Chains A and B, each alone.
Chain A
């Protein structure tokens, strides 16, 4: 099963490699990993997407909790949550494609954030599925570059992950 694990980490050098090292040393999967500082500059928030059986996810959360740099941890997939990923994509936009790409981008509620006479750069936010669908719709031809942020996620409701 796919799990989204959210962590508050000490914002210190080495914290990220402790987490990444744990996954490689113990043979766990990382599908994606995003990390940035929070409103409290001593803390980073990490969103980690992994896959595994219940037993493996239990071990992953226990092992992560054991790391001294991990301050708090929650498995967001245990409850209702919202997941968003951002896609930046550069697409050829010449002749007939110029209109078609703009139309598709609008349908997916993307925003064109840079324009040249040969290409558009589009920003699109949504779930991973939505980004996949957009990429599929565009097809392989015409794509110059794709950048995906990996998902960030937050629990629904009024409770937050904090100290």
Chain B
């Protein structure tokens, strides 16, 4: 029996096992929406803006490991998703975006709602397609999912002209596809792995540095076994938090610009660095000429272009993190050589000295709410078991510092692109992927307003997300940089004319709270978590002057961290200066 392109589209999603599609209808996608209407296996979630739909699919993918699916119309529908696509691209998140397109006869005519979707998204996708014949539709969709989810994952866009969704053909969904120009490596080179393990076992001051690749590659278990087997210190990037349990004594915290003092110092002083599924981002390395001056570096990554891009590597291993870690664990167990106990003991003594500085210490207050205190309390009350999404800025860094993630896929944030407005729509996707779980969106009054319309989506689908709004009436991170580097000229970083967030939340049918006393923080959080079936918007009025510490300023090395004012006059600070 022949089906229309629109029917084929829906059947493909069903046969691909897609549960949810996040989208927004429009002219060019009307045939598809009609086909969606006539079935109930693939559920469509209506966002309030295409950017929200893309972030929701992204949050769904990050928290579940399954690809997120987006469906939008042509023109503005697809341009509105570009921020979401770029966000997913920078963090290697598997999403598949289907965009309607004007009919093939109109392409290139500047037709109504026409945009060159393939051209506009080309620099921020893993791959994209324009379907020119209904006979190619099913195979193209299969290819899109295959490309998005294999190798180094990433977003794929499929642009479908309206007439293609009306044309008919036989439906056949291929079980698998192969592309002659695409065959992601999985196994690492055994000789390289052997060399790496030899070096790792000889280390006197080893350091294991892991990133989002460990989470994407579902290899937290292997990483944890590997690190514990060796007894070496482990640090995670912002994207890698949760890959290794944060409460494990071998964990030295996040590294990088706002990482811990001990993680960054250990990076700087280590003699063997094992980088796994991480990409030596500039926010991690600090000034490259000062990066890891003593280290011989092993780098495991599925993407060869990540290796030796920023930092030259002695032993590159291209392969899936999962496979390579399994091989390394086996070799470590088989090897006669054991880690150098005495050296390791001395190394841990040094690390614990750095640790004893308590670099995340902040001044407590009983007059004004300290944002860090809210996150500490949030961690305590959720017992570290919530899914936490965040927007971008100070609150994001504090959440990363103070919420100790013991499990992967619990920390959902836009690390690479740094997209304000990501947190709330991402939380929507997370809640759909994990209906019974606690989902918290940590945000700020600036970020939340960038996708605030999604509060309506939350109402429509009864999503009981808890929003922790750290409201300091500033774009906090911008203000912090202006304070440090622009002589306190707070150019346009003040959030004037803020809405009344309680009324705003209530007008969308949610519960709003404002908390301005430190003594009310715990009670408010407890009350909010009791409201299990409601979205609660908690507007915490926090200290306007608080900054994120410690910090590696631009041009500084990892060993040149600036500590918070409550460390001033300590010996460490003098040593740093």
| B-binding residues in A (CB < 8 A) | 10, 13-14, 17-18, 21, 25, 55, 58-59, 62-63, 65-66, 68-71, 163
Contacts and interface: CB of A to CB of B under 8 A. Distances in A.
B122 A18 contact: yes
23 contacts: A13-B130, A14-B118, A14-B122, A14-B130, A17-B119, A17-B122, A21-B122, A21-B123, A55-B312, A58-B308, A59-B305, A59-B309, A62-B305, A63-B305, A65-B304, A65-B305, A66-B305, A68-B126, A68-B127, A68-B147, A68-B181, A70-B181, A71-B180
Nearest to B151: A66
Query: Which 8 residue pairs of A and B lie closest in terms of their CB atoms, listed nearest first?
Result: A62-B305, A71-B181, A68-B127, A25-B123, A62-B304, A68-B182, A63-B305, A66-B305
A62 B303 CA distance: 9
A43 B494 CA distance: 56
Contacts of A70: 181
B577 interface: no
B179 interface: yes
Nearest to B128: A14
Contacts of A58: 308
Interface in B143-194: 147, 179-182
A17 B127 CA distance: 12
A18 B122 CA distance: 7
A126 B327 CA distance: 52
B179 A68 contact: yes
B122 A66 contact: no
Nearest to B152: A66
Chain B, interface SS category: mixed
Contacts of A65: 304-305
B481 to A, nearest CB: 25
A68 B488 CA distance: 48
Contacts of B127: 68
B399 to A, nearest CB: 31
Interface in B73-119: 118-119
Contacts of A18: 122
Contacts of A69: 181
A17 B130 CA distance: 14
Contacts of B119: 17
Nearest to B122: A21
Contacts of A68: 126-127, 147, 179, 181-182
Contacts of B130: 13-14
Contacts of B123: 21, 25
A62 B313 CA distance: 15
Nearest to A15: B181
A18 B118 CA distance: 10
A71 B182 CA distance: 8
B300 to A, nearest CB: 16
A27 B179 CA distance: 29
Contacts of A163: 180
Contacts of B180: 71, 163
A25 B89 CA distance: 15
Contacts of B312: 55
Interface in B275-326: 303-305, 308-309, 312
Chain A CB within 10 Å, residue with most, of B118, B130, B305, B309: B305
Nearest to B123: A25
A68 B148 CA distance: 12
Given A13-B130, A65-B305, A68-B147, 17 more contacts: A10-B181, A14-B118, A14-B122, A17-B122, A18-B122, A25-B123, A55-B308, A58-B308, A59-B309, A62-B304, A63-B305, A68-B126, A68-B127, A68-B179, A68-B181, A71-B180, A163-B180
